Amino acid sequence: MAMRQSFVLRQLKILAYILLAVIAAIAHSDELTTAQVAHDALQAAVVVEVSKADDRTSGSGVLIDENGTVLTCYHLLKGAKSALVKLSNGGYFPAQGLLAFNPTVDIALLKVQGQGLPNLPLGDSSMLEPGDSIVAIGSPKGLENSLSEGIISAIRRVGDLPDLLQRELLESGRKETDRLIQFTAPVSPGSSGGPLINSAGEVVGIVILGLSATDADNIYFAVPVNECKPYLKNEVVIKFDEVDLSSIGGTTKRIGIAPKDFGLGDPVKEHIAFAVPRGSEPTFRTPPGLVVDVNSVQVVTGGEMQRSEERPNRGEFQILTDGSVLFSAEDAGRKMTIEYEGRPRRVAILPIVNRSKFGYLPPMLRTSLTSTLVNLGFELVTEAETQTVAREHKLNVEGVIRGIEGAITRDDVINVSDKLNATHILFSYVDTRKYEGYMTEYTGVLVMVIMFDGLTGKPVLTTEKSAQKNTFFSSCKSARRTIIGRIVRRIFNEYFGIASSDSG
């Protein structure tokens, strides 16, 4: 009996070992061997060659989508006049510019023109733990696509690092709560910007070198890839000659830094009944001031409408990239209801310059600007907040109107938009003009609007319009209010390509 029990126990232990082995195999079934990781990673890793005013340098990067987005580090591009991206197959791609960069975190997104390029997915760096296997890829001292293997040593808070290293990072703009990945895979100069890859073949970090406090200690750090994700939605390419990369540091400037929520208000929902416009391409246009979530768009009718990825036929609709909805010409005139969600772009209207003798015209102009922009889907920064920031930065709005060079610099606009979290900053002035009519003289109104992009500081709209010469009025306030409203609507309707019946 005892022998039988001993035999059963041995069999149970064997089954237990087998079960544990199966569980372990299942738990690691999504892990790849180093050779498997290397196969895809080496194709997606790139060399970044940077030309500066009096120097050339090179580092590393990684393609993160098939359309040519390269993730690398910022300090490699500091002072860049141009850049080339070299693939593992020897092909070169000139960088069109940057999609985003953050000097403080030391990350940058380069854009090259390409399709179907090899790339790696991004992982979740918050899931990393000490002991996790990783590989690093870089091009140290010109040895392209060098691969090294190691583990995660620790996830370190800047505030917990040794004094010398901590001080160096804090002086560069990092906060004590920021985290860095410490790892053991050896990397050398030339590997900055290269990917840190987990056992699932995902990018989990971007290698950063150049920290003087670690140069002699064989300590290696990477920026967690989750720090990069807020910038991935940006689609605006900033050319190298549009921004001085050598002058940027700290956290006070937002040049090139475009998180997906920069300058956007809280989510809003719209529910609108309408009739499909007539024409060869009947299109329902969502407000241009609203960044529409295309996945939220729904068309509700008495009958079922089908979503189409191509040009729609009868009973179908297609969502365009700007969130507008295209219908079939056969459905023109049909009554429908559309639902969608979006986030409004925020606009700050700075103090209005008045060149007329009528003191009440600036408030009228501001009221008209506000109502027009709100109808276009924008969100207005409060007047009190805008006035306060304008005074803090001593904005010479009158100087802008008069064309004084340097009255307001790009940095001024960028800093103000950053402070107000506004996608656009708007200047304007109002004036009155004398027109000669039949046997008499009439007064007309002139309005100028200058709108700056809050991200780049560049003007995107500069226009001046007045009442048409056949529209005259005396000193009647209501008449002036009406004509100012017409001028403002005309300015923005033309800028956004919206058909309008206003004659201005």
3-class secondary structure, 74:
coil
Using a 10 angstrom Cβ sphere, with 0-12 exposed, 13-18 middle and 19 or more buried, the burial of residue 276 is buried
Please give the backbone phi and psi of residue 196, each rounded to the nearest 5 degrees, phi first.
-105, 125
Q: What is the C-alpha separation between 275 and 128, in angstroms, rounded? A: 53
Residue-wise DSSP of 16-32: HHHHHHHHHHHHTTT--
The single-letter code of the amino acid at 17 is: Y
Active-site annotation holder among 60, 75, 328, 466: 75
Gap between the terminal Cα atoms of the chain:
106
- 106 as an active site residue: the answer is yes
In this structure, the strands spanning 306-307 and 316-319 are parallel
Active site annotation includes 393: no
Handedness of CA 169, 174, 180, 186 (dihedral sign): negative
Determine the residue type at 132.
D
Residue among 58, 106, 191, 328 flagged as catalytic: 106
SS3 100: strand
Catalytic residue among 146, 191, 192, 428: 192
How many CA atoms within 13 Å lie on the side-chain side of 237?
Answer: 13
Is residue 249 packed enough to be buried (19+ CB in 10 Å), middle (13-18) or exposed (0-12)? Answer: middle
Surface-to-core class of residue 389, CB atoms within 10 Å of its CB (0-12 exposed, 13-18 middle, 19+ buried): buried
Is residue 75 among the annotated active site residues?
yes
Torsion of CA 162, 168, 173, 176, to 10 degrees: 10
Q: Give the separation between CA 49 and CA 42, rounded to whole angstroms.
A: 17
C-alpha angle 325-330-334 in degrees, rounded to nearest 5: 65
Give the other-Cβ count within 10 Å of 462's Cβ.
11
| Active-site amino acid positions | 75, 106, 192
